[in-house]
A and B are shown apart, each in its own frame.
Chain A
Amino acid sequence: MKVELKLFAVAKQLAGAEAISIELPAGATVQDLRDAIGDQHPVLRDITTRAMIAIDTEYVSNDALVPENTVPENSEIALIPPVSGG
């Protein structure tokens, strides 16, 4: 399956895009997604190891399953680099 990943801050800058497409096997976990981001977009490999993944605006752990989000109104998946608000 193909999922769309939203990017922010340095990840957006590195990729030169607000979102990227990642190819994943069905039933992939968040850890699989992390590995795939690094493999398919090497420029994001480093920041991905330090980033959180959010699904539908909630932080998720590495063993969570990645939902298919090919339809825009379905799940939203985002790469969240270490935050620096305040």
Chain B
Amino acid sequence: MIELTEHPIDTQEVLRRVSSTQAGAVVLFLGTTREFTRGRQTLSLNYECYAEMAEKKLEELDVEAHKRWHLVATVIVHRIGQLGLGEASVAIGVSSAHRQDAFEAGKWLIDTLKEVVPIWKQENWADGTAEWVHPPDHTSPIEPFPTKQPLEKAE
């Protein structure tokens, strides 16, 4: 399941939702807001999204992960709005019978989310300025999922 939320992410709830007696592994990834980026100090961050499209892209990622790996359950939650330092901006929970699937799927989900899902981060710097972050190496995500993972499911 996927969710965009303006409230703090309940990471225990993410774990609870992916936990299952069918799973032998549960992986939880949290993206958290960092204080220093290349020596500049951040006070807070704002996340904006194109909600309809972001939800659709997150759903597609969720479905694709289940096609590529043997997974029991997946949860992707992204926070929108203003976040203080150290808060989770994204949480990805993945469970699988064996750990390799959960680790690989979790990494693929966050890597691909950062390439294709229309969400943007604004840094509110300690010097009083604010700046939208737009990675310069953005490649065109015309291919549905332009990442380098094999399509075969891991054994």
Q: Give the nearest-CB partner of B48 in chain A.
A: A9
Assess the A59–B90 pair: CB atoms within 8 A: no
Q: Which of B53, B90, B116 has the most CB of A within 10 A?
A: B53
Task: Using C-beta atoms within 8 Å of the partner chain, give the interface range for chain B.
Answer: 20 to 34
Task: Using C-beta atoms within 8 Å of the partner chain, give the interface range for chain A.
Answer: 20 to 34
| B150 interfacial contact with A, CB 8 Å | no
| B84 interfacial contact with A, CB 8 Å | no
Give the interface segment out of A21-29, A37-45, A65-73, A74-82: A74-82
Report how far A76 CA is from B78 CA in the complex, Å.
Answer: 23
Contacts of B50 in A (CB 8 A): 6, 8, 54, 57, 78, 80
Contacts of B110 in A (CB 8 A): 86
Contact (A57, B121) CB under 8 Å given A83-B115, A84-B134: no
Say how far A74's CB is from chain B's closest CB, in angstroms: 15
Contacts of A80 in B (CB 8 A): 50, 53, 118
Which residues 30-57 in A have Cβ within 8 Å of B in the complex?
47, 50, 52, 54, 57
| A16 interfacial contact with B, CB 8 Å | no
Assess the A86–B118 pair: CB atoms within 8 A: no
Contacts of B31 in A (CB 8 A): 86
Report how far A47 CA is from B121 CA in the complex, Å.
Answer: 16
Report how far A86 CA is from B141 CA in the complex, Å.
Answer: 16
Assess the B52–A57 pair: CB atoms within 8 A: yes
Q: Which 8 A-B pairs have the closest CB atoms?
A: A85-B119, A82-B138, A9-B120, A57-B53, A10-B132, A84-B133, A86-B114, A82-B134
Spell out B's residues near A (CB within 8 Å): 31, 47-50, 52-54, 56, 78, 89-90, 110, 113-122, 132-136, 138, 140-142
Question: Can you identify 22 A-B contacts, CB atoms within 8 angstroms?
Answer: A9-B48, A10-B120, A10-B132, A50-B136, A50-B138, A57-B53, A59-B140, A61-B140, A78-B50, A78-B53, A81-B120, A82-B134, A82-B136, A83-B116, A83-B119, A83-B120, A84-B135, A85-B89, A85-B118, A86-B89, A86-B90, A86-B110
